């Protein structure tokens, strides 16, 4: 990793925007559990802890996504740290100074990498930290626990019905974290793509969410295209997911498509710079 890329990544990661993304994301994913515990203890004069109300940790994670609406608003958090990188360089004129020192190909590659890492972490970190919280205060996803306590999970009627028991649910949890990182990278780079077409910072930050939400509404209305909705790729606990690796392959395809489009269009934008 070059010195310039390291500097840009550090500035994006250790930034107020990243702090906002992580804190807001954690609030989305944990507020219902905290509120329920406080409400129950206050109503019944009890002294329960998070561990006392913990269920199968994988199901707690899935429920936190469905109750909070996090999956709908995650693209907003993904774009905050780095989606406006190119827009800021271009509009300030700093892009000329950068391209006097490095090749356009290197600048494009480093901008994509920075956006991918920062956007990926903006979605990954809230999922990881809240997932760790549910893991510590919940129970492993094993057949023994399911049979003993009579639990069911959000994954029982999906293609992950058997996978959820591997390593007590940790294998599926790791897959969900990988999906979260790819999800953030995709929508952060989508912001970059918008900024190449329309070099406006606020449009670069807002357009990815508008596109994301519009696609979901259209596919939801059509029904048979719901399997292609990007909303289902962050928490794929739906019965219509066709096979285990489908969300990973779909996100990898979207990531590649956005990167290729950005690489092509930015060359046209920079041809006279």
68-116 per-position pLDDT tens digit = 889 999 999 999 998 888 888 888 888 888 888 888 888 899 899 999 9
Residue 42's Cβ-count burial label (10 Å; 0-12, 13-18, 19+) is exposed
pLDDT of residue 2: 66
What number of other Cβ atoms are within 10 A of residue 99's Cβ?
15
Contacts of 144 (CB under 8 A, 6+ apart): none
147-180 per-position pLDDT tens digit = 776 677 888 889 998 999 999 889 999 999 999 9
- Torsion, Cα 82 83 87 88, to 10 degrees, reads -20
| CB contact at 8 A, 160 and 94 | no
Distance, CA of 141 to CA of 164 (rounded, Å): 7
Q: What is the pTM of this model?
A: 0.92
CA 113 to the chain's CA centroid: 16
Residue 271 φ then ψ, to 5° = -65, -30
Distance, CA of 228 to CA of 236 (rounded, Å): 11
Average pLDDT over residues 193-210: 91
């Amino acid at each position: 990793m070059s010195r310039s890329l390291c500097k840009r990544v550090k500035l994006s990661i250790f930034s107020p925007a990243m702090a906002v993304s992580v804190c807001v994301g954690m609030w989305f994913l944990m507020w219902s559990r905290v509120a329920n515990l406080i409400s129950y203890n206050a109503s019944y004069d009890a002294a329960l802890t998070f561990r006392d109300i913990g269920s199968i940790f994988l199901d707690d994670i899935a429920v936190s996504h469905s109750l909070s609406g996090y999956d709908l608003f995650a693209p907003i958090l993904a774009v905050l740290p780095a989606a406006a990188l190119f827009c800021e360089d271009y509009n300030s004129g700093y892009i000329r100074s950068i391209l006097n020192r490095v090749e356009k190909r290197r600048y494009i590659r480093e901008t994509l990498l920075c956006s991918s890492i920062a956007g990926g972490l903006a979605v990954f970190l809230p999922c990881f930290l809240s997932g760790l919280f549910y893991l510590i205060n919940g129970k492993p996803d094993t057949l023994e626990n399911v049979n003993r306590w009579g639990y069911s999970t959000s994954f029982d009627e999906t293609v992950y019905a058997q996978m959820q028991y591997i390593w007590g649910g940790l294998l599926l949890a790791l897959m969900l974290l990988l999906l979260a990182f790819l999800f953030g990278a995709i929508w952060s780079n989508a912001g970059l793509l918008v900024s190449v077409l329309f070099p406006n910072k606020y449009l670069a930050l807002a357009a990815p969410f508008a596109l994301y939400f519009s696609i979901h509404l259209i596919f939801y209305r059509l029904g048979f295209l719901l399997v292609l909705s990007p909303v289902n790729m962050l928490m794929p606990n739906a019965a219509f997911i066709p096979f285990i690796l489908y969300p990973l392959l779909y996100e990898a395809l979207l990531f590649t498509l956005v990167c290729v489009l950005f690489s092509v269009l930015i060359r046209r934008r920079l041809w006279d710079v």
